Amino acid sequence: MGALSGIRVLDLSRVLAAPLAAQTLADLGAEVIKIERPGVGDEGRTYGPPFLMDRDGKSTGTAAFFLACNRGKKSVTVDLATAEGQQIVRDLAASCDVVLENFRAGALQKYGLDHASLRAVNPRLVYCSITGFGQDGPCADKPGYDGIFQAMGGVMAANGHPDEPMKIGISMVDILTGQQAAIAILAALRHRDQVSGEGQHIDMALLDCAVASLSHFAMNYLVSGEVPVRRGNGGFGGVPSQAFDCSDGMVFIVAGNNQQFGALCRAIDAPALAEDPRFDHAAGRVVHRDALLQGLREVLRRRSVAEWLARLDAADVPAGRVNELPQVFEHPQVRHRGMLVSAEHAQAGAIPLIASPIRLSATPVEPCAAPPTLGQHTHEVLSQLLGLPDARIAELAQSQVI
């Protein structure tokens, strides 16, 4: 029994941010019914290569991208452009706790699937809309994707080198928005169940989440009035918080206080750095950042990553190798924590998946089901949840409603 056992989610979303939010709810035990277009599905299925291979080594046509954000869900194909398809979704919403959608603001109103329409069917429904710019404002009608919001929201301004803003490699704004949406949904469910007895509308915007993610980087500007300088692989807090070149790779080191800084200097045989009056206090290390980092770079490039990590670990200085993906999944701590799991896919057999990082003592996250094939659960859901007879389901399939 997961923490959200008994909660049913209707996932009308596609691509990444909203599907990630629904996947988090599935990880926590909710039943998630994913609605996809018949014959086409979530366009995230096409975002390859790479594509998942079946048991015979042939492409399933399902991109790895889709697998990343749809584990644990049931796929039901419904054509929302048809009156019968719209009624199916309304009927499903009547027995759901949550609806997730990421259509353009107002787009679902013409189908009678907007918040107001579904609230009339089910007042207890928590309805979460995820869009680029939100449901209102001068940009509400504009389309957008993760990279645009990294640019507009200041994320690129925080990354890269002083003369070049840079996008984070992964779709971080999508990922953060998905997490924020899941938090908002859980809060709305609690309010419904403990306070009001009714659901509410959640309006999540990727641009909002991008701006909120700036955290201390933006606060440095708001407090000082000075635009922070991009620092490449360096941090914006204490110094050092930085990636350093070694003789055979890179190591990231953080010395967050005087004790750790002293231990670092002793571990790398550079005690003079700790005794230098410019560097013997936290503010001084920030003010004289460039001089300190130059001294550390000169020392750290002389030995291998393994040699430095052995010394730093012995001195209790926070440090870690800058890993490529093979090293990430080979790391003994990552393996011990079970962050790489497998699940049985209907076409491909056992496939690798990244696990949920959530650890709950009383309601642990159960082993996840593999992301579904397109329409894999259509008959099951329409039969068991809506009580449609086989003949009616066959008629709907014949007319391409499902």
Helix (H) or strand (E) holding 190: helix 172-191
Inter-residue contact 341 to 47 (CB < 8 Å): no
- Give the DSSP per-residue string, 296-343: HHHHHTTS-HHHHHHHHHHTT--EEE---HHHHHH-HHHHHTT-EEEE
At residue 137, what is the residue type? Answer: G
Annotated active-site residue in 11, 79, 174, 208: 174
Inter-residue contact 379 to 393 (CB < 8 Å): yes
At residue 341, what is the residue type? Answer: V
Q: How far apart are CA 298 and CA 123, in angstroms?
A: 65
Rg of the Cα atoms in the chain: 25
Strand order through the sheet with 31-36 = 73-77, 31-36, 8-11, 98-101, 126-131, 201-205
Would residue 269 show up in a list of annotated catalytic residues for this protein? no
CA nearest neighbour of 273 among 239, 322, 233: 239
Measured torsion, CA atoms of residues 372, 376, 381, 387, in degrees rounded to the nearest 10: 180
CA nearest neighbour of 143 among 133, 128, 130: 133
User: What is the CA angle 133-137-143, rounded to 5?
Assistant: 35
Q: How far apart are CA 209 and CA 212, in angstroms?
A: 5
The separation between CA 400 and the C-alpha centre of its own chain, rounded to angstroms, equals 33
- The residues that are catalytic are 174
